[in-house]
């Protein structure tokens, strides 16, 4: 869930500092000072000491430069950040290959090792069934209380079951609990590893980690370079959920993007309009051929979940491209050679974009907001202007759950086809189980919208606004548009 989270605020502050250096053309000269500036000596440390804080910040910067921390060699600990910046330049985008997420060892290892913990409700009873029944003999007694050795415990839960006072509790590891597909697990040292063959890039682990240990491998280095280079044409492809992210109108935001250095601005909601049209035609055709139902394809985390975990329902997934890809394709024809940068709330889209020929880079709202601060641009004070490519309110509603299915059932009805809609609002183990047999559950003639994020993209991992606020804002704006 989206709640106020200090870890993400600290990340934004760091991106502001990073972007300021890029705007000043001083990244390589000054990047090694950033950990000291972000965690100065005279401010109380978050971790054990200021040096540990700085070590974590250093890794965050490495991830912001696009590198995977897992690839670091032991001797790299002594490397300067300037040398990473240098390497980012020489390697270019080839360094971005592999998973879009990376885990900061230094931050992650502060987490719990075992899932069971003895609380102070322990009475130190005579029966001591916890000790008697632990298969690993990892419980001892200290000051009249049972104590679990976290390093030996295998989290089998027997002790919790047998305690007559229910004094042993189950404590989930936040990222593991959040992951819908069991892709993230602890290694023998207690650090989390993401299994790329299982991971669907939904970003739920990143949102869940209270230490901010999971980072995206960002593309801000190339994006900032491109938008500050007047010779390089750039297109901002803004996702429908951008409405409501800055508490201001779309028109002001368009101006702010241009002031930041984007040459063109295109609404991805235009591609959503197109995708809705194509998906409706596809649905009707499939139903006529005897298929019972079809699911949406616009959420890449869902599509990856099907490819990796629900292969049997693959034939039910629409073949329509995502709105991002259609808009990117259009922008490629309109402005050949321009760098097309998708701006959205989504990590799965980052992975999708890296596979797509129609998108060069992706940026999150968090990152964009930090760029505005660094450039001294206040979006609310910009004048209104129009995007180069605009959309209808149908496409704009793709940002909230229910928007896609509403668009498609309405379009089908207009063509004389009665279609039932079903919305899978958020992926978790339960909804994945439902999806597995979805064609047996729904009525024949159903369109199923699936979004990985509960509430839709307005609750994506890279958003700024609280999704409740963003939804209100979006609804208000769409009402004003069409009385």
Partner 1 sequence: MAKKFKITICSGTTCYVLGGAQLMMLADSIPAELKDQVEIVDSNCIKACHFENAQPPFVQINDYLMSQASVAKVVDYLRKHLQEQA
Report the C-alpha gap between 155 and 197 in whole angstroms. Answer: 25
* Residue 205 binds ligand SF4, judged by CB under 6 A: yes
* Residue 349 binds ligand SF4, judged by CB under 6 A: yes
* Partner from partner 1, ligand SF4, none binding residue 380, C-beta < 5-8 Å depending on class: partner 1
- Scanning 89-97, 198-206, 325-333, 410-418 for contacts with ligand SF4 by CB under 6 A, the matching segment is 198-206
* Partner from partner 1, ligand SF4, none binding residue 160, C-beta < 5-8 Å depending on class: none
Residue nearest to ligand SF4 (CB): 460
* Partner from partner 1, ligand SF4, none binding residue 370, C-beta < 5-8 Å depending on class: partner 1
DSSP run (H or E) holding 40: none
Contacting partner 1 (CB under 8 A), which of 29, 307, 381, 479? 381
- 2 vs 295, beta carbon nearer partner 1: 2
Report the C-alpha gap between 245 and 188 in whole angstroms. Answer: 41
Of 189, 207, 193, the closest CA to residue 453 belongs to: 207
* Partner from partner 1, ligand SF4, none binding residue 50, C-beta < 5-8 Å depending on class: none
- 86 vs 378, beta carbon nearer partner 1: 378
* Partner from ligand SF4, partner 1, none binding residue 254, C-beta < 5-8 Å depending on class: none
For 33-183, list the strands marked E by DSSP: 101-103, 116-118, 139-142, 145-148, 168-170
Non-local (6+) Cβ contacts of 345 within 8 A are: 239, 241, 364, 365, 453, 457, 458, 459, 460, 461, 462, 463
Non-local (6+) Cβ contacts of 134 within 8 A are: 158, 159
* Residue 477 binds partner 1, judged by CB under 8 A: no
Chain centre distance of CA 123: 44
* Residue 228 binds partner 1, judged by CB under 8 A: no
- 117 vs 198, beta carbon nearer ligand SF4: 198
Contacting partner 1 (CB under 8 A), which of 23, 211, 221, 246? 246
* Residue 27 binds ligand SF4, judged by CB under 6 A: no
* Residue 46 binds partner 1, judged by CB under 8 A: no
Residues facing residue 295 across a β-bridge: 317, 448
* Residue 468 binds partner 1, judged by CB under 8 A: yes
The half-sphere exposure of 296 on its side-chain side, counting CA atoms within 13 A, is 32
Q: From residue 394, how far is each of 112, 153, 219, 238, 346 by CA, in Å? A: 45, 53, 30, 15, 20
* Residue 203 binds ligand SF4, judged by CB under 6 A: yes
Structure token pair of residue 312:
């049997």
How many residues bind ligand SF4 (CB under 6 A)? The answer is 27
* Partner from ligand SF4, partner 1, none binding residue 391, C-beta < 5-8 Å depending on class: none
Contact (CB, 8 A) for 404 and 398: yes
Of 444, 422, 76, the closest CA to residue 286 belongs to: 444
DSSP of 197-248: TT-----HHHHH-TT--EEE---HHHHHHHHH-TTS-EEEEE-GGGTTSSSS
* Residue 455 binds partner 1, judged by CB under 8 A: no
The half-sphere exposure of 379 on its side-chain side, counting CA atoms within 13 A, is 21
Contacting partner 1 (CB under 8 A), which of 342, 372, 398, 447? 372
- Could you list the residues that contact partner 1 (CB under 8 A)? 3-4, 9, 12-13, 246-247, 256, 366, 369-370, 372-373, 377-381, 464-466, 468-469
- Could you list the residues that contact ligand SF4 (CB under 6 A)? 101, 178-179, 181, 183-184, 194, 199-205, 299-301, 345-346, 348-349, 451-453, 456-457, 460
């Amino acid at each position: 869930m989206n709640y106020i989270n200090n870890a993400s605020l600290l990340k934004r502050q760091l991106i502001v500092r990073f972007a300021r250096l890029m705007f000043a053309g001083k990244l390589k000269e000054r990047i090694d000072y950033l950990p000291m500036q972000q965690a100065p000596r005279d401010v109380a440390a978050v971790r054990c000491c200021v040096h540990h804080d700085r070590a974590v910040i250093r890794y965050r910067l490495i991830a912001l430069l696009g590198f995977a921390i897992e690839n670091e060699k032991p001797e790299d600990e002594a490397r300067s950040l300037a040398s990473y910046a240098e390497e980012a330049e020489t390697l270019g985008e080839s360094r971005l290959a592999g998973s879009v997420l990376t885990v900061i060892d230094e931050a992650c290892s502060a987490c719990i090792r075992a899932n069971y913990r003895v609380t102070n409700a322990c009475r130190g009873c005579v029966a001591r069934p916890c000790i008697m029944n632990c298969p690993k003999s990892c419980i001892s007694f200290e000051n009249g209380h049972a104590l679990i050795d976290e390093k030996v415990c295998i989290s089998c839960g027997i002790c919790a079951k047998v305690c007559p006072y229910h004094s042993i509790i189950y404590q989930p590891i936040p990222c593991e609990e959040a992951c819908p597909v069991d892709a993230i697990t602890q290694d023998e040292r207690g650090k989390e590893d993401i299994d790329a063959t299982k991971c669907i890039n939904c970003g739920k682990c990143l949102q869940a980690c209270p230490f901010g240990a999971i980072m995206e491998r960002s593309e801000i280095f190339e994006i900032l370079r491109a938008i500050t280079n007047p010779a390089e044409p750039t297109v901002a492809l803004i996702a429908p959920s951008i409405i409501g992210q800055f508490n201001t109108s779309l028109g002001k935001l368009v101006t702010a993007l241009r002031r930041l250095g984007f040459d063109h601005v295109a609404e991805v909601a235009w591609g959503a309009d197109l995708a809705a049209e194509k998906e409706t035609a596809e649905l009707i055709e499939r139903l006529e051929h005897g298929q019972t139902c079809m699911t949406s394809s616009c959420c890449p985390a869902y599509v990856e979940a099907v490819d990796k975990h629900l292969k049997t329902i693959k034939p039910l997934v629409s073949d329509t491209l995502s709105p991002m890809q259609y808009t990117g394709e259009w922008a490629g024809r309109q402005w050949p050679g321009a760098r097309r940068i998708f701006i959205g709330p989504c990590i799965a889209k980052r992975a999708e974009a890296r596979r797509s020929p129609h998108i060069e880079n992706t940026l999150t709202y968090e990152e964009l907001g930090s760029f505005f601060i660094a450039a001294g641009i206040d979006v609310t004070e910009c004048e209104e202007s129009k995007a180069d490519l605009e959309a209808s309110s149908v496409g704009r509603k793709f940002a909230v759950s229910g928007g896609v299915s509403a668009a498609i059932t309405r379009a089908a009805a207009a063509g004389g086809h009665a279609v039932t809609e079903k919305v899978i609002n958020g992926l978790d183990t339960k909804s994945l189980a439902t999806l597995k047999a979805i064609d047996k559950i729904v009525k024949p003639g159903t369109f199923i919208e699936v979004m990985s994020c509960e509430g839709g993209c307005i609750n994506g991992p890279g958003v700024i606004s609280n999704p409740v606020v963003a939804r209100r804002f979006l609804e208000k704006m769409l009402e004003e548009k069409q009385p």
